[in-house]
Amino acid sequence: MDLSCRRLLFLVVLAFALSSKGYSQPLVPAIITFGDSAVDVGNNNYIPTLFKANYPPYGKDFVNHQPTGRFCNGKLVTDFTADTLQFTNYAPPYLSPQASGKNLLIGANFASAGAGYDDQTSIINHAIPLSKQLQYYKEYQSKLAKVSGTKQSASIIQDAIYILGAGSGDFLQNYYVNPLLNKAYTPQQYSSILVSTFSSFIKTMYSLGARKFGVTSLPPLGCLPAARTLFGFHEKGCVSGINTVAQQFNKKLNSSAVSLQKQLPGLRLVIFDIFQPLYDLVKNPSAQGFVEATRGCCGTGTIETTIFLCNPHSPGTCSNASQYVFWDSVHPSQAANQVLADALIVAGLALI
């Protein structure tokens, strides 16, 4: 099914849902997000880490052209998801002053750039570990109950959509650059460790009342410009070995999701495949109106990310990021995020 058909199908379902719920309300009460830089909307602005995106040129195509801490020139996939679900505001980063009072009713974002399933990945990058994100979520539940009352809070917790996006940093910022780790474990063994952590996280969240999860797969890690630069070793195109590892991880993730849904009554767990749509964009960018898919827009686009070379002084940053699949050497552009969001529409219907 191509993207135009996906959009049409979703619009039909959306129209039906809106007619039954009223046009003034989002399709779900809240969106609650965990993970890494792919979904961080600004938590790292409030912790001592180099992994920040709260300065230009990040955010140059976002609302009011303001950098917010999103690792993109504009919107993330999760922002487009919130738009589609009829939210008029985005759930705030939990560490921000905005995460208080009635703002908590539409959810919160606990993600942290540099985090991973493996807490050691987060520690290396001075990010918020997934275990700490979980602690913050428990705090959030208490705050939500004070704002909305126990009954409404329980309803929000049960009906909210929970998004989890992690794993890329575990491989590119930990496993492949840590000789102690990659000598101790094969990629398959390390994948199993990460998936075990994922499974434990879902079970804990389930015990806390969460029921609807959208979890992103690994992208084609070997196609990220930074991976080509650091691990390509003159290989033309994507780094095939790293892509294979990502696909093997995704297979384990899908198997775990099936198992969890058998174990936990009422659990709805969708694995969003971002590997294939992003791989297709890289291999045939012109089919979706892109011009460049081998490097990012910011600077040379081969190694830049965060303060490391993608900053207000980066030379050569492109003038039109919508022509680029990647914004920096790791993260997709807003235009690519829109394509990815469209590709996930049908799978996401299961969570509404």
Q: Give the CATH number, domain containing residue 266.
A: 3.40.50
Dihedral sign of CA atoms 218, 221, 225, 230 in order? positive
Radius of gyration of the chain, Cα coordinates, nearest whole angstrom: 19
Q: 328 catalytic, yes or no?
A: yes
Q: Convert the pLDDT of each residue in 275-285 to its tens digit.
A: 999 999 999 99
CA distances from 227 to 18, 231, 269, 344 (A): 43, 5, 30, 25
Residues 6+ apart with CB under 8 A from 257: 215, 269, 270, 271
Work out the angle between the directed axes of helices 240-263 and 187-207 (0-180°, nearest 10): 30
Beta bridge partners of 269: 213
Residue 19 has pLDDT above 60, yes or no: no
The answer to whether residue 328 sits within a structural domain is no
Residue 225 has pLDDT above 70, yes or no: yes
The answer to whether residue 322 sits within a structural domain is no
Return the pLDDT at 48.
97
Return the pLDDT at 171.
98
Mean pLDDT value across residues 231-250: 92
Q: Convert the pLDDT of each residue in 111-142 to its tens digit.
A: 999 999 999 999 999 999 999 999 999 999 99
Return the pLDDT at 299.
72
Range in 6-10, 105-109, 187-191 the model is least confident about: 6-10
The answer to whether residue 288 sits within a structural domain is no
The answer to whether residue 136 sits within a structural domain is yes
Mean pLDDT, rounded, of the chain: 92
* Annotated active-site residue in 96, 273, 331, 342: 331
The answer to whether residue 270 sits within a structural domain is yes
What is the three-state SS of the chain? CCHHHHHHHHHHHHHHHHHHHCCCCCCCCCEEEEECCCCCCCHHHHCCCCCCCCCCCCCCCCHHHCCCCCCCCCCCHHHHHHHHCCCCCCCCECCCCCCCHHHHHHEEECCCCCCCCCHHHHHHHCCCCHHHHHHHHHHHHHHHHHHHCHHHHHHHHHHCEEEEECCHHHHHCCHHHCHHHHHHCCHHHHHHHHHHHHHHHHHHHHHCCCCEEEEECCCCHHHCHHHHHHHCCCCCCCCHHHHHHHHHHHHHHHHHHHHHHHHCCCCEEEEECCHHHHHHHHHCHHHHCCCEEEEECCCCCCCCECCECCCCCCCCCCCCHHHEEECCCCCECHHHHHHHHHHCHHHHHHHC
* CA dist., res. 226 & res. 305, Å (int): 9
The answer to whether residue 218 sits within a structural domain is yes
Closest C-alpha among 85, 100, 90, 86 to residue 344:
85
Return the pLDDT at 308.
56
Q: 65 catalytic, yes or no?
A: no
Backbone φ, ψ for residue 229 (5° rounding): -70, -45
* CA dist., res. 315 & res. 261, Å (int): 49
Q: Do 145 and 212 contact (CB within 8 A), yes or no?
A: no
The answer to whether residue 195 sits within a structural domain is yes
Dihedral sign of CA atoms 243, 245, 250, 251 in order? positive
Number of structural domains in the chain: 1
Q: 234 catalytic, yes or no?
A: no
Residue 274: Cβ within 10 Å count: 23
Return the pLDDT at 10.
54
What is the residue type of 248?
Answer: Q
Beta bridge partners of 48: none
Q: Convert the pLDDT of each residue in 310-334 to its tens digit.
A: 888 777 789 999 999 999 999 999 9
Return the pLDDT at 25.
86
* CA dist., res. 254 & res. 273, Å (int): 10
* Annotated active-site residue in 37, 96, 191, 256: 37
Closest C-alpha among 118, 235, 133, 234 to residue 172:
118
* CA dist., res. 309 & res. 58, Å (int): 12
Return the pLDDT at 9.
53
* Annotated active-site residue in 170, 328, 329, 333: 328
Q: Do 110 and 34 contact (CB within 8 A), yes or no?
A: yes
The answer to whether residue 297 sits within a structural domain is no
pTM: 0.93
Beta-strand relationship, 212-216 and 268-272: parallel
What is the percentage of the chain residues whose pLDDT exceeds 70? 90
Beta-strand relationship, 324-326 and 107-109: unpaired
Can you give the residue range of the structural domain that contains 92?
Answer: 3-275+339-351
Q: Do 41 and 337 contact (CB within 8 A), yes or no?
A: no
